[in-house]
Amino acid sequence: MAGAKLALGYATGAVSIISDGFHSLTDSASNVMGLIGLRIARKPPDANHPYGHRKFETLAAAGIFVFLLFVVVEVVQSAFTRLRSGAAPDVTPMSFIVMIATVLTNLLVVRYETAKGRALNSELLLADAAHTRSDVWTSCTVLLSLSAVRLGYPMLDPIGALVVAVFIARAGLQIGLESSNILADRVVLDEEQIRRVVMSVPAALGCHQIRTRGTFDYTFLDLHVWFAPATTLHEAHRLSHVVKDRLMDAFPQIADAIIHIEPPPQGEEGHVNSQLPTPKPSPSSEPGERHGN
């Protein structure tokens, strides 16, 4: 599709088609980057990457964002060059055939890729589906521009290219924000939902310092759980595994959970209601045991 649109765009001088062709060209490059990222992400944890390689998939999604930036710059430059020159493109029936075929093909790709992305919980597939969905709108915009040129309004060709740039920039911004949230370790799971699961274990008096990071389908969790001061180390260790098992049952996307065992803060030795805010830990609290997979 990229080759057909670029060849047609340069042959007819339609900058809107050329812009859409560059957009499609970046799809190919971003998909190759995505395949490489997925292959690396599937590798199991090793000595140098104890948390696994899943962020390589996020880096691949960020790579799509970078490609989109290059496309936006190219489209805007081409559009302003045409606005200054005022030249009119040669719109032919083949222009409409190629663009309509592009729209139909992209609609099929979006439907298939979105379904697979949701089934596999793949951020990369969903990101690329969003990218391809923007292709549908940009191609429709190009069709409108070509129709306007055909009716005697040649200046709508570069204006259509600028509209294409807006669609591309919007898709790129969305992908960039999602990728940056993961790379910046933004919170993944809701703290209150985690607290409710912890408090479903009768011996757990409360919890705090709940932290999650990673991707939606591959999340790491660590938190502090309070047990009665008289609880033996062996029993507290056993109970922490009960808490961990319930958490991983409730949230299958958790790849690993690290639980720090400690007594409740001073003055909170009684049972803590899960609906109440969690008190801040006392500076005098002793650090508890840490365990994980």
pTM for this prediction: 0.59
- The pLDDT of residue 274 is above 70: no
The first and second tokens of residue 144, run together, are 């409108």
What distance in Å separates the CA atoms of residue 196 and residue 260, rounded to the nearest whole number?
17
Asked if residue 2 lies in contact with residue 27, where contact means CB atoms within 8 angstroms, the answer is yes
pLDDT attached to residue 267: 56
Domain ranges of the chain: 2-183, 191-291
How confident is the model over 182-192, as pLDDT tens digits? 877 788 888 99
Angle between helix 55-85 and helix 123-150 axes, rounded to 10 deg: 10
Q: Which residue has the higher pLDDT, 152 or 222?
A: 222
| Span between the terminal Cα atoms of the chain, in Å | 48
Q: Are 63 and 173 in contact (CB under 8 A)?
A: no
Q: How many CB atoms lie within 10 A of CB 121?
A: 14
Rounded to an integer, what distance in angstroms lies between the CA atom of residue 42 and that of residue 120?
Answer: 13
Contact at 8 Å (CB) between 37 and 182?
no
Mean pLDDT of 270-289: 41
108-120 average pLDDT score: 90
Q: How far apart are CA 262 and CA 228, in angstroms?
A: 9
Which DSSP state fits 16? H
Which pLDDT band holds residue 260 (cuts at 50, 70, 90)? very high
Q: What whole-number distance in Å separates Cα of residue 4 and Cα of residue 261?
A: 63
Statement: residue 242 has pLDDT above 90: yes
Amino acid at 98: V
Distance CA 44, CA 31 (A): 23
pLDDT greater than 60 at residue 201: yes
Question: Given pLDDT bands bounded at 50, 70 and 90, which one contains residue 287?
Answer: very low
CATH topology of domain 2-183: Alpha-lytic protease prodomain-like (1.20.1510)
For residues 93-120, average pLDDT: 89
User: Which residue's entry shows tokens 């990218």?
Assistant: 131
Residue 20 has pLDDT above 50, yes or no: yes
User: What are the structure tokens assigned to 143, written together?
Assistant: 């069709």
Distances (CA, A) of 38 to 35, 59, 116, 148: 5, 10, 14, 42
Cα–Cα distance measured from residue 43 to residue 49, given in angstroms and rounded to the nearest whole number: 10
Report the C-alpha gap between 270 and 228 in whole angstroms: 8
What one-letter code names the amino acid at 124?
L
126 Cα distance to chain centroid: 7
pLDDT value at residue 292: 46
Cα–Cα distance between 64 and 86 in angstroms, integer? 33
Cα gap 81→165, rounded to integer Å: 14
Give me the CATH code for the 191-291 domain, please: 3.30.70.1350
